[in-house]
Amino acid sequence: MGLVWARDRTINAFGKLKGNKNLSFKAMYQYSVKIKKNPGVVEKTYIWGGQSIAFNLKSSLFLVIRVPEQGEDIQIKTESKDISTPRDIGTLKAGELFTIPLNEIKGVYATCSQDIRVDCSIEFMSSDMLVPSLE
């Protein structure tokens, strides 16, 4: 598991802000998403947000994505209303987990070569004021 950057501070994989032991991630909403393979077509499945969303979210929310132990690889990208090309986050393999800050983006989507269901959680840092805004 790697590191996540939020507000120019580094959070370690255990959800604690370096140098401050009072901050931790809190789960707000948990769900699963079925990412479908469509033969011959690169079809994206939104894990959070959507193609028709017109605003970027400004918040201190985080999306945690986990691929099951018996799962297939998924490729993850984010979209922003200000950038025409999606940002390639990378590939998650079976059993892997990654945290994406949901700040200044309008969607997170995944593609895959086989149908797979992934687990997701929307989380926030317990010391943050949860006041999202639209830009």
Give the start-to-end residue ranges of the domains of the chain: 26-128
CB 26 within 8 A of CB 91: no
Share of the chain above pLDDT 90, in %: 38
CB 109 within 8 A of CB 46: yes
How many angstroms separate the CA atoms of 83 and 85, rounded?
6
Q: What is the pTM of this model?
A: 0.71
CATH number for the region 26-128 comes to 2.60.120.10
- pLDDT tens readout for residues 7-45: 333 333 334 444 445 556 676 889 999 998 866 666 789
Helix, coil or strand: residue 115: coil
How many angstroms separate the CA atoms of 23 and 129, rounded?
12
